[in-house]
Amino acid sequence: MEKPTLPPQGVTTPSHRRRRVWGVVALPLAALALAGCTVPSFGAKAGPTETSRSTYHLWQGFSIGAAIVGALVIVLILWAVVRYRRRSDEIPPQSQYHLPMEWTYTIVPILIVFGLFAATIVVENQVVANPKTDVTINVNAFQWGWKFTYPGTDAFVVGQTTQNPTMVMPVDTNVHINLTSTDVIHGFYVRAFNFSRYALPGIKNQFTFHAVATGTFDGQCTQICGLYHSLMFFRIQVVTPAKYQSWLASFTDAAAARAAAKATGQQTSSVVPSKSTSSHGAQ
Amino acid sequence: MVDVLERPGQVEEHGHEEHHGPTGLLKWLTSTDHKVIGLSYTITSVIMLVIGGAFAEIVRAQLTSPNGHVVSLAQYNELFTMHGSVMIYLFAGPFAFGALANFIVPIQIGAPDMAFPRLNALSYWLYLTGSITMLSGFFVAGGAANFGWVAYAPLSNSANTPGAGADLWIGALLLTGFSAIFTGVNLCATIFYLRAPGMTMFRMPIFTWNLLITAILILLAFPVLTAGLIMLYCDRHFGTHIYSVVGGGVPVLWQHIFWFWGHPEVYILAIPFFGMVTEIIAVFSRRPVFGYKGMIFATISIGALSLGVWAHHMFTTGVVLLPFFSIMSLLIAVPTGIKFFNWIGTMWRGQVWFSTAMLMALGFLATFLIGGLTGIYLASPPLDFFTHDTYFVVAHFHSVVMALVLAGFGGLYYWGPKITGYMLNEPLGKIQFWFLFIGTQVLTLPQYLLGLDGMPRRVAIYPNSPQWKTLNVWSSVGAVMIGVSTIIFVVNLVYSWKRYPAGDNPWDGQTLEWFTTSPPPHHNFYRLPQIRSERPTWDYNHPEHRSLAHGHHEEPVHEEVPVA
């Protein structure tokens, strides 16, 4: 596997510009989130796609907010129970209501919520955006496996349960996914991409991946879909565009061989590498 | 000035001129007394907690190794489905609005019984029948329902899930659904029409207020589920295609209907427990509820918002308007935060007494804080895409519901003496608390990490990774600790059986239920104090310590006239 290909530092790409807009919208959280490398990960990972990274920064922003609010509440609770623990049978002051304080703990959370919402909207618009497409892949989920087809080419990969069918996609490219299901609802979940989407019968779900690093990533069905739900694995392999093209070509060659065989009336189905049961990735 | 209202022609001295009805089993079978029904609900729902907990222990045993062989894949699907179903439909809801509400709400507002006692009995019998119906799924060919407690179409149709188990599950939900609807009607009518003289709406205890909001939510949400279930049944047996693509139906419609019930349901479960915690914290801090009216408005806004957030369970379907449901869901954090600050404000400057009930309430605060904060992440669609249907979500809602379990046990320790007339053993209760509280955190914290590392929910086997295995084992250790805590509770019940007489008001309670005897007589009260605040019993017992709003100063109650 080759090294991850990252965009050069300091270059203003459209995605950087988008992040700058976000920084203006949700100032404190985003400022911290933008300095991603110095902020703790809070258990998440940045991942290899543009959207996995902005989701990760959003995760960090939310986590900082949660940590501050959580720590404040815990300290107040601990202070209350330690400082005001029962020491005598004396009846404590029976005071009630404090409007300025009540307004404070109503208004401040509303402001925090709108800050979180603004950050959410910016990242969400990026995650659900369908920019200009370079490559389209149709993903079809079924009980209990996945089928990846590449419209306009001969390439397809299909596999069941632990066969780990592998979806090959090029790096630095907008890859448009059309997600469908043939039977029940499945969950198309790629941990490294910080992303999941339901595969629904009767509905075509569309989204775009833009990987900025190569590698192989595990995916799995997350929505209970019957007996072998636990085993509905797949993989995503992000490769360089050159490798992607040669991978596609291997199918074209195979199809040509099949067509040639058909023309000469030979049975070659056992000779041609069948993708129907393989976890065939780019070599 | 009259301080006590006595019931005309019926005073205590007449000897407990009790209802001379049947006794024993016949009394239990025929009673329309809200206290008997409330106790039946309590016992039944705690049994359901134990059954649902046993299923959870098997599930956790299976997950202690990546390739667990405790149960088969098919049995695993049945077990987690029935674990969720039993806990949500048969334990948490009925315990909240059937058990404690039934017993406590009429007494808190000075009513002799629920408004419709026979309807109340019907509710209980529907609930019991529904519970038996659902569990009987294990004894039919093909086993119990196995499509998760949410029964997403089209997995729940007759082609994908044939067999009677699923039909019994649907039937059980219809029965318990009607039980809940009737209880909702009953609570609304009781609270609106049977309040004692002087018990205005803004003098009702927070617990009663919360049950009123709960009852209204039940009336708005449960009929939708009932309709959805009937349509599901028609799809399964009568050839309709409401949820199937083949005949032109829409599978996602089921999710809309289910969650239109399902999200208010989350608050139908939670709001009664918020009420219990509020009462417990006030009594064991010996203080009035800090922002009584703020608390009520917070509950009302939670109830209102909860009707507009259902699609946050459906962000990853790709067919819902994300920003609307995101902001509505995020906004629920605001009234929830108000509640937290009110609970803290109630303890502030008080005399916090660490009884078992109070420890349980504090355990609720800590656990619900974790569950609430992680819920905020899930209200953000990109973060929901990231964590949806992983163990992060499982951990989130187990933090929430285990907080409710803590609160529920707090409610049992707090009101148990009123219900039975006897106290539970406090040291055993505290041991139970620590097992339950620590067990809950040991259960959920590894699950958060598993979810972030990508473990999906509802899987019987998982990839062989040492890290996942370790985290799963820890989670199972937590489940065992919770199981032990439940056993300690049962031991406590047996050990304390009629051992520690409670008296009428063992905790220096503030609300009306502590004014009557323990257990209360038939029709609840021989006499009532004057109700001039939300704390009539406290005012009666401590006339010189009435609550004062901020900025007001204590006015001398008994002015002594100097002798010349």
Please indicate if any CB of chain B lies within 8 Å of the CB of A111. no
Binding-face residues of B in 347-366 toward A, CB within 8 A: 347-354, 362, 365-366
Answer for the pair B225, B151: CB distance below 8 angstroms, yes or no.
no
pLDDT at A281 over 80: no
User: CB distance B390–A222 less than 8 Å?
Assistant: yes
Chain B residues whose beta carbon lies within 8 Å of the beta carbon of residue A236: none
Q: How far is B447 from chain A (nearest CA, A)?
A: 12
In a domain, B551, yes or no: no
Q: Which of A51, A81, A96, A116 to mutate to test the interface with B (most CBs of B within 10 A)?
A: A96
Shortest CA distance from A122: residue in chain B: B382
In a domain, B21, yes or no: no
User: CB distance A224–B152 less than 8 Å?
Assistant: yes
Chain B residues whose beta carbon lies within 8 Å of the beta carbon of residue A76: 341, 344
- Residue B352 confidence (pLDDT): 96
Binding-face residues of A in 180-219 toward B, CB within 8 A: 183-185, 187, 189, 191, 194-198, 200-203, 205-207, 218
Distance between CA atoms of residues A149 and A276, nearest Å: 11
Please indicate if any CB of chain B lies within 8 Å of the CB of A25. no
Angle between helices B34-62 and B466-495 (to 10 degrees): 150
Q: Which of A75, A127, A184 to mutate to test the interface with B (most CBs of B within 10 A)?
A: A184
Q: What is the pLDDT of residues A127-150, one digit of tens each?
A: 998 888 889 999 999 999 999 999
Please indicate if any CB of chain A lies within 8 Å of the CB of B382. yes
Please indicate if any CB of chain A lies within 8 Å of the CB of B546. yes
Task: Dig out the tokens for B14 from the structure.
Answer: 């007449």
Q: What is the pLDDT of residues A173-208, one digit of tens each?
A: 999 999 999 999 999 999 999 999 999 999 999 999
Write down the number of H helices and E strands in chain A: 5, 11
Q: How many separate domains does chain B show?
A: 1
* Enclosing domain of residue B419: 28-537
Task: Dig out the tokens for B552 from the structure.
Answer: 């007001």
Which CATH number characterizes residue B398's domain? 1.20.210.10
Q: What is the pLDDT of residues A7-45, one digit of tens each?
A: 444 444 444 444 444 444 455 555 555 554 578 999 999
Residue with tokens 């989204």, as numbered in its chain:
A207
In a domain, B79, yes or no: yes
Answer for the pair A124, B323: CB distance below 8 angstroms, yes or no.
yes
In a domain, B513, yes or no: yes
In a domain, B326, yes or no: yes
Binding-face residues of B in 22-81 toward A, CB within 8 A: 73-74, 77
CA-atom Rg of chain B in angstroms? 24
Chain B residues whose beta carbon lies within 8 Å of the beta carbon of residue A102: 291, 294, 338, 341
In a domain, B303, yes or no: yes
Chain A residues whose beta carbon lies within 8 Å of the beta carbon of residue B460: 230
Q: How would you write B57-80 as a 3-class SS string?
A: HHHHHHCCCCCCCCCCHHHHHHHH
Binding-face residues of B in 127-156 toward A, CB within 8 A: 147-148, 152, 154-155
Q: What is the pLDDT of residues A217-246, one digit of tens each?
A: 999 999 999 999 999 999 999 999 999 999
- Among candidates A96, A194, A196 on the partner chain, residue whose Cβ is nearest the Cβ of B389: A196
In a domain, B129, yes or no: yes
Chain B residues whose beta carbon lies within 8 Å of the beta carbon of residue A47: none
As a whole number of Å, the end-to-end CA separation of chain B is 27
| Domains within chain A, CATH numbers bracketed | 14-83+96-128 (no CATH), 135-263 (2.60.40.420)
The Cβ of residue A250 has, within 10 Å, a number of other Cβ atoms equal to 16
Alpha helices (H) along B453-515:
466-495
What are the pLDDT tens digits along chain B (564 aa)?
A: 456 767 655 544 444 445 567 777 888 889 999 999 999 999 999 999 999 999 999 999 999 999 999 999 999 999 999 999 999 999 999 999 889 999 999 999 999 999 999 999 999 999 999 999 999 999 998 899 999 999 999 999 998 999 899 999 999 999 999 999 999 999 999 999 999 999 999 999 999 999 999 999 999 999 999 999 999 999 999 999 999 998 889 999 999 999 999 999 999 999 999 999 999 999 999 999 999 999 999 999 999 999 999 999 999 999 888 899 999 999 999 999 999 999 999 999 999 999 999 999 999 999 999 999 999 999 999 999 999 999 999 999 999 999 999 999 999 999 999 999 999 999 999 999 999 999 999 999 999 999 999 999 999 999 999 999 999 999 999 999 999 999 999 999 999 999 999 999 999 999 999 999 999 998 999 999 999 999 999 999 999 888 887 766 655 555 445 554
Please indicate if any CB of chain A lies within 8 Å of the CB of B317. yes
In a domain, B184, yes or no: yes
